[in-house]
Amino acid sequence: MSLKQDFISYVEKNFVTNPMPENLIDYWEKFKGVNGDGEKPLFTEHGKQILTYMRNNLDTKTWKAKDIADGMFVTSRTVSGAIRKLVSDGFVEKVGQDPIIYCITEKGKEINID
């Protein structure tokens, strides 16, 4: 069992005598992960937003991080950080180097984001 899983188990054991306040339950569920086994969720919030943006703009085949950021009204740094995970998970592909260009993959088009 990982340290995070040990921590989750410890905290949940204490809920029996000290129930969690309503306003913290959603945060706790996200912290534990989607399936409750301590694993990270498949997408970050920014990752979901990027995939949604790319899906809603399929007429554009390739994007620079700056173009996505401008369209989403966030910083390029926000997009660059989140898109790395999307690339490593196969939802987005890096197709150019200078400048770095991205495109959404079939996997990214078909995955259920919710």
Q: How far apart are CA 106 and CA 91, in angstroms?
A: 7
pLDDT digits (tens, 9 = 90+) for 46-94: 999 999 999 999 999 999 999 999 999 999 888 988 999 899 889 999 9
The pLDDT assigned to 50 comes to: 95
Best CATH choice for the domain 45-110 from the list 3.40.50.720, 3.30.70.340, 1.20.1260.10, 1.10.10.10: 1.10.10.10
The pLDDT assigned to 92 comes to: 95
Q: What is the percentage of the chain residues whose pLDDT exceeds 90?
A: 43
Residue 38 has pLDDT above 80, yes or no: no
* CB-based contacts of 1-8 (< 8 A; 24+ apart in sequence): 2/38, 4/38, 5/37, 5/38, 8/32, 8/38
The pLDDT assigned to 1 comes to: 54
pLDDT digits (tens, 9 = 90+) for 11-34: 888 876 677 777 777 777 777 764
Q: What is the average pLDDT across 104-109?
A: 94
Give the burial string for 36-56 (b: 16+ CB within 10 Å, else e).
eebeeebbeebbbbbbebbee
Tokens encoding 102: 């991205």
- The answer to whether the Cα torsion of 16, 29, 37, 3 is positive or negative is negative
